[in-house]
Amino acid sequence: MTDITVKVIDHEGMESEWTAPTDMGLSLMEFLKGNDYDILATCGGMALCATCHVEVVDGFDKLNEPSGDEYAMLDTLPNITPTSRLACQLYLADNMHEIKVRLKGDGHS
């Protein structure tokens, strides 16, 4: 498989479905920014700012465990959920087919 389906719920609650490539080494954050979602990604994908915070609504069990750095950053957030992840730390892969995420990071801070 070279393309997967990614479902995104934006800050206004609108859900969109996208086709995402898995053969380019893109992170979910890069993919979301490339599709004009309001994500600052101030740290450039280094798990230091959490502006790319997402809640994984469907498919959380398919993902690898968060790194220590990612978990430490998530732990500082006031709106963390049991399925919170940083989109910069999730690289598009076949196992993410039909994943659904809700944007949680503040794209305006």
Q: What is the pLDDT of residues 42-82, one digit of tens each?
A: 998 999 999 999 999 999 999 999 999 999 999 999 999 99
In this prediction, residue 80 carries a pLDDT of 94
Max Cα-Cα span within the chain: 37
CATH number of 51's domain: 3.10.20.30
Q: What is the mean pLDDT of the chain?
A: 93
pTM of the model as a whole: 0.93
Closest alpha carbon to 89 in 48, 42, 39: 48
Share of the chain above pLDDT 90, in %: 89
| Rounded alpha-carbon distances, angstroms, from residue 40 to 1, 3, 31, 57 | 30, 25, 13, 21
Mean pLDDT of the region 2-12:
96
> For residue 109, is it within any domain?
no
Number of domains in the chain: 1
> For residue 49, is it within any domain?
yes
> For residue 37, is it within any domain?
yes
